[in-house]
């Protein structure tokens, strides 16, 4: 839903006040959406994989080891670029290094979960009892 004129003016005033108060922070915030940049990097990675595969096949057809190795390196760099930016592109990464659910970070030492087998057995017992 688009903003009304009044809301747009308020937003512009807030932006100007932010630039006046802390220009360094304002420029870092203004740089754009990290997910959008990460998506572009993932797309570039896919293009590098396809291009590297083409160079690799061309090297095999021409019996050129150098072209084959170059194609492999291009494919590898494209895969690395895609893998390193995939989580950010999909929005799965939380900023600030906060613990995400299921990662095991952020728990105290005494708060370890029981093994999966024990949890499944306990669930089965609860269902059976009910």
**Is 52 buried (19+), middle (13-18) or exposed (0-12) by CB count in 10 A?**
buried
pLDDT score recorded for residue 107 = 52
**Is 130 buried (19+), middle (13-18) or exposed (0-12) by CB count in 10 A?**
exposed
pLDDT score recorded for residue 53 = 96
Assign 61 a pLDDT band (cuts: 50, 70, 90).
Answer: very high
The chain-wide mean pLDDT, for the chain, equals 81
Can you give the pTM of this predicted structure?
A: 0.50
Identify the residue with better confidence: 110 or 35. 35
Could you give the CA distance from residue 118 to residue 70 in angstroms, rounded to a whole number? 51
The DSSP code sequence of 32-61 is --HHHHHHHHHHHHHHHHHHHHHHHHHHHH
pLDDT score recorded for residue 123 = 85
pLDDT digits (tens, 9 = 90+) for 66-122: 999 999 999 999 999 999 988 888 876 454 444 445 555 555 555 677 888 888 888
Could you give the CA distance from residue 95 to residue 29 in angstroms, rounded to a whole number? 13
């Amino acid at each position: 839903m688009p903003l009304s004129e009044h809301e747009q003016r308020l937003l512009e005033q807030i932006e100007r006040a932010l630039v006046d108060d802390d220009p360094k922070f304002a420029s870092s915030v203004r740089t754009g959406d990290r997910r959008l940049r990460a998506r572009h990097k993932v797309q570039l990675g896919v293009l590098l994989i396809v291009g590297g595969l083409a160079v690799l096949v061309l090297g095999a057809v021409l019996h050129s080891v150098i072209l084959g190795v170059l194609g492999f390196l291009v494919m590898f760099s494209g895969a690395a670029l895609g893998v390193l930016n995939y989580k950010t592109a999909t929005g799965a990464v939380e900023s600030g290094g906060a613990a995400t659910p299921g990662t095991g970070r952020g728990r105290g030492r005494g708060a370890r979960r029981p093994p999966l087998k024990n949890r499944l057995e306990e669930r089965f017992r609860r269902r059976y009892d009910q």
